[in-house]
Amino acid sequence: MLTMTATAADRLRGLREQEGQSGKALRIRAVPGGCSGYQYDMVFDDAQASDHKFESNGLEMIVDPESLPLVTGSEIDFEESFGASGFKIKNPNARGGCGCGKSFQT
């Protein structure tokens, strides 16, 4: 299961409209890379038959079978601060990460 805060869902709906991707779901993947082993990839996409589907705060999310064990239980948030803003993924499966916060290890 994946969840998303209302703030993240609102921001993503706006981005989806800006990109002309209305009707597409948010695909969340854990792909090999980064300095800790895996990094997150998020893109608006159509669901495939093998995808797992989740809905949170009115936004549909899809995850491929390979990424599911790596991201299950995660919460997507959007944080804004004076120095930086962006999406943050709180992943209970991550056992470590790099200093930049863009990659994780399990």
> Following DSSP, what letter does each residue of 75-103 receive, concatenated?
EEEEEE-SS-EEEEEE-TT--EE-TTSSE
Half-sphere exposure in the Cβ direction for 54 (13 Å, CA): 21
Rounded average pLDDT over 87-97: 83
Cβ proximity of 78 and 89 under 8 Å: no
- Say which residue, 86 or 12, is predicted with more confidence: 12
Is the distance from CB of 67 to CB of 85 less than 8 angstroms?
no
For 41, the 3-state DSSP assignment is strand
Looking at residue 81, what is its pLDDT? 80
Calpha distance 55→5 (Å, rounded): 11
Q: What is the pLDDT of residues 24-80, one digit of tens each?
A: 999 999 988 777 688 889 999 999 999 999 999 999 999 999 999 999 999 999 988
